[in-house]
A and B are shown apart, each in its own frame.
Chain A
């Protein structure tokens, strides 16, 4: 594992993986969208509105996964002081914020026909709004500290504090809300969703995940190259 943490090794490996990952995400997203938007029948209660689910739910999953990955990278960066982990955490944040925003927007679009309003203070939506603020705070802290190593450490502490606090925020928001829809997909004792909806959902979930990793790798590579270019320029300076 640590062998690939060497930036040079990482660049060659990620360069080789990237085209395949990009192709996989394109295929999965195309397949998932076709299955979800055309092949699946309308829901007997929600009608065609249910199709928003295929773009909404996986976005929310990816947003949470991104926070988990960011926190894990932060921990690695803090404990082993590895610059690649710092870069990984830094670059995961804007992507996480993006998927969180996507989840919020699609959730709002779904809510309009379902609840008759653009926004309800539903448990999920509310905790995602707070998650978005956590991401924004993390990004703001990174940008405010000039020294890169120091910024990485400070942001890592914040990411970990957020990771400890997130379940509590989730719990408190769930406690607070009464409008909340219960978990219905990964419920213990079998899913409540018909298989005809489940397949496109899983295809989309995999597609979003692949898309996230594709974008993440691109951003990590860009950051490494930018830093390399900057140090080359500094070396060339008189």
Chain B
């Protein structure tokens, strides 16, 4: 995992379907810090995350990742630094929890320990269960384990607490805190308070 020194966003403008979501957004997240994005439904939280991941090109402005000796601006190159946790959990109904995690670990070429990750998110007992039998909260836990295993320095999380119970929320907060403690950056779109120290950015009507 290449360490990042910061995520720098300058004059960012987002437009979806002809509607301006936000204009002239500026923020900076340093290594080891988390940023919580808040805002009403439709304020553009998901679009902002998709822009940070490089899926969506900004209408204007720049997104820059700084490492110790380079700056990365290109969307697809930025994507190689990103760990993604979206609304949908990337859990296949026909694959067991363990298979899912093994697949993504191999795909990302990471050295993560699947069994340890299963233990962390409390799914060790369900490892052999196919995804179709999991509840929404259990799927979210699989996604959290995958995120931790994929070893990316920039975490982009879209409502990570959705459908998690109290214990699950604590697991999520713990993972984000641990990620930041090792010098990672996390950007979290949420309207529930995440129980960790984070800076706040509120997206309002443009």
Contacts and interface: CB of A to CB of B under 8 A. Distances in A.
**Dominant secondary structure of chain B at its interface with chain A:** loop
A199 to B, nearest CB: 51
A231 interface: yes
B18 interface: yes
Interface residues of B, number: 2
Interface of A: 147-148, 231, 234
B17 interface: yes
A231 B17 CA distance: 11
Contacts of A231: 18
A75 B71 CA distance: 31
Contacts of A147: 17
A147 B18 CA distance: 9
A147 B19 CA distance: 12
Nearest to B15: A149
Interface string B9-32: 000000001100000000000000
B50 to A, nearest CB: 14
4 contacts: A147-B17, A148-B18, A231-B18, A234-B18
Contacts of A234: 18
A148 B18 CA distance: 9
A148 B16 CA distance: 11
The 4 closest A-B pairs by CB, nearest first: A147-B17, A231-B18, A234-B18, A148-B18
Contacts of B17: 147
Nearest to A146: B17
Nearest to B19: A234
A234 B17 CA distance: 12
Contacts of B18: 148, 231, 234
A232 to B, nearest CB: 12
Interface in B5-58: 17-18
A147 B17 CA distance: 6
B92 to A, nearest CB: 26
Interface in B109-155: none
A20 to B, nearest CB: 35
B78 to A, nearest CB: 20
A231 B18 CA distance: 9
Nearest to B57: A81
A153 to B, nearest CB: 11
A204 to B, nearest CB: 43
Nearest to B16: A147
Nearest to B17: A147
Nearest to B18: A231
